């Protein structure tokens, strides 16, 4: 810039030199020479800041990303049958037979102003239609280790819950996530997290929301919070090669008129039941990651596990009839209380660059329900079955933006029905790709 200015002055000098005499010209030349010298000095003494757009996800403002995913499934059992003992829970497994397009996920994020950042993720369903998966704003300048989120977000409880589907190590969620959280707990509300000012990672978080996601009932009848969650995470490195994080979570909500269809009863028929009552869940999670010298691009290993226990206590209406239904059921109500639990543990080993193999084991405990006398003749209290599943995975990632996966599973989550599953999947992302969480 400076050089151009000097060049310009020098170019113009002969024009204005018309009337000037030699002495004046001489002075001007000397002045220009001095000016040039001063500028050179200034340039030399000051580190030049080179202009280029700042890096970070805001280099594209806003950052836009699109996840494309599809799968092929080969199953030996009907997918609609729920895990034994969990007919009152969601059974949204997220896969299907034959070829299918998975959800396409469109994400947009950017800083809004110096105080806020906004994130929105839209899930485009393969059958058409879209849903708002995440749409939240978060503070960026509270300081003191505080982060506040407002809007629709995945809850920070557990380890897997916050991860988006494209970051999962398997094509589907663990059974405990499918039955306890309808795959992923999302809510509309507030989340406040605080990071302790210590060298060890200690994070405390609390959430209140309307209870949009299961087991909440998305209630609109009360002005209060429909669900609350508390969680704590602690993590650190163990030497240069290992790092870990452990967590504990609590979740509390009230289910109101949660209707499940195809619930088995003692007489063998499949009927609709409705449950209303308190739902309290506690969870433990851990993850341990290992890479020689911390270099994850060659080989690495990840071990993670989570355990959740839920107590539901309320009233069950057996053979519930939806208002306006053609046939009227028994509509018998009685007390119903059950404590269920589930866990999984999985290991993923990157045995060479780009290639990973994983193994996962799932188990659920349906528990033994305390059933009130009015409905005990019909409602099953003890299924006497432990649903399990073993899953094997192999994936290949030509780059950090693309992944191809083979998954084999033996699903024994349904009594007397062994489902041998084969899946092929691709997951790819285009556009800005945000950094992944630990």
Please state the closest distance from residue 195 (CB atom) to another protein, in A.
5
Tell me whether residue 54 or residue 128 sits nearer to another protein (CB atom).
54
Please state the closest distance from residue 43 (CB atom) to another protein, in A.
11
Tell me whether residue 195 or residue 230 sits nearer to another protein (CB atom).
195
Which two three-digit tokens encode residue 409? 């599973």
> If we measure between CA atoms, which residue out of 376, 381, 374, 371 comes closest to residue 314?
371
Tell me whether residue 22 or residue 49 sits nearer to another protein (CB atom).
49
62 preceded by a cis bond (ω within 30 of 0): yes
d(CA 211, CA 38) in angstroms, rounded, equals 68
Please state the closest distance from residue 241 (CB atom) to another protein, in A.
10
Please state the closest distance from residue 56 (CB atom) to another protein, in A.
5
d(CA 312, CA 93) in angstroms, rounded, equals 22
d(CA 137, CA 155) in angstroms, rounded, equals 14
Q: Are 210 and 188 in contact (CB under 8 A)?
A: yes
Tell me whether residue 125 or residue 196 sits nearer to another protein (CB atom).
196
d(CA 124, CA 133) in angstroms, rounded, equals 10
Contacts for 430 with CB less than 8 Å, ≥ 6 apart:
65, 66, 68, 401
Please state the closest distance from residue 183 (CB atom) to another protein, in A.
23
Q: Residue 182 half-sphere exposure, CB side, CA atoms within 13 Å?
A: 15
Please state the closest distance from residue 54 (CB atom) to another protein, in A.
6
250 preceded by a cis bond (ω within 30 of 0): no
Give the residues lining the site for another protein (CB under 8 A): 47-50, 52-59, 117, 138, 140-147, 193-203, 233-237, 240, 243-245, 289, 293-298, 353-354, 398-401, 430, 434-438
CA distances 360 to 174, 287, 305, 407, Å, are 8, 14, 9, 11
Please state the closest distance from residue 390 (CB atom) to another protein, in A.
27
Tell me whether residue 126 or residue 292 sits nearer to another protein (CB atom).
292
- The 10 Å CB-count burial string (b at 16+, else e) for 102-125 is bbbbbbbbbbeeeeebbbbbbbbe
Tell me whether residue 289 or residue 360 sits nearer to another protein (CB atom).
289
Q: Are 231 and 250 in contact (CB under 8 A)?
A: yes
Tell me whether residue 41 or residue 130 sits nearer to another protein (CB atom).
41
Tell me whether residue 47 or residue 129 sits nearer to another protein (CB atom).
47
Please state the closest distance from residue 358 (CB atom) to another protein, in A.
17
Tokens 């995975």 belong to 393
């Amino acid at each position: 810039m400076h050089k151009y200015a000097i060049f310009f002055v020098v170019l113009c000098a002969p024009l204005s030199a018309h009337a000037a005499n030699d002495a004046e010209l001489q002075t001007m030349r000397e002045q220009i020479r001095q000016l040039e010298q001063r500028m050179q000095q200034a340039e030399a003494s000051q580190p030049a800041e080179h202009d280029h757009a700042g890096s970070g996800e805001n280099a594209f403002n806003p950052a836009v990303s699109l996840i494309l995913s599809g799968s092929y499934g080969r199953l030996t059992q009907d997918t609609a049958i729920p895990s034994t003992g969990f007919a009152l829970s969601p059974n949204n497994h997220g896969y299907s037979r034959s070829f299918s397009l998975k959800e396409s996920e469109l994400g947009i994020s950017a800083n809004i102003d110096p105080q806020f950042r906004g994130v929105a993720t839209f899930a485009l369903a393969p059958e058409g239609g879209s849903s708002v998966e995440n749409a939240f704003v978060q503070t960026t300048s509270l300081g003191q280790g505080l982060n506040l989120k407002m809007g629709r977000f995945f809850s920070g409880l557990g380890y897997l819950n916050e991860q988006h589907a494209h970051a999962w190590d398997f094509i589907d969620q663990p059974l405990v996530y499918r039955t306890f959280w309808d795959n992923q707990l999302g809510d509309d509300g507030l989340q406040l997290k605080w990071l302790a000012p210590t060298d060890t990672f200690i994070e405390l978080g609390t959430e209140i929301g309307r209870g949009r996601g299961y087991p909440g009932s998305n209630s609109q009848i009360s002005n209060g919070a429909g669900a609350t969650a508390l969680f704590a995470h602690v993590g650190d490195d163990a030497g240069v090669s290992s790092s870990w994080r452990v967590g504990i979570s609590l979740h509390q909500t009230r289910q109101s008129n949660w209707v499940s269809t195809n619930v088995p009863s003692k007489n063998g028929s499949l009927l609709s039941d409705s449950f209303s009552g308190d739902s309290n869940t506690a969870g433990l999670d851990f993850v341990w990651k290992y890479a020689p010298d911390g270099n994850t691009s060659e080989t690495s290993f990840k071990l993670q596990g989570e355990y959740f226990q839920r107590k539901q206590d309320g009233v069950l209406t057996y053979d519930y009839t939806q208002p306006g239904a053609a046939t009227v059921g028994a509509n018998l109500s009685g007390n119903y209380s059950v404590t269920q639990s589930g866990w999984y543990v999985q290991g993923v080993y990157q045995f060479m660059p780009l290639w990973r193999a994983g193994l996962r084991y799932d188990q659920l405990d349906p528990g033994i329900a305390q059933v009130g006398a009015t409905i005990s003749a019909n409602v099953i209290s003890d299924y006497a079955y432990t649903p399990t599943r073993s899953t094997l995975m192999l994936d290949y990632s030509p780059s950090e933006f693309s992944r191809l996966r083979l998954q084999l599973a033996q699903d024994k989550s349904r009594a007397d029905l062994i489902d041998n599953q084969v899946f092929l999947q691709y997951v790819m992302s285009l556009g800005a790709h945000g950094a992944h969480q630990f």
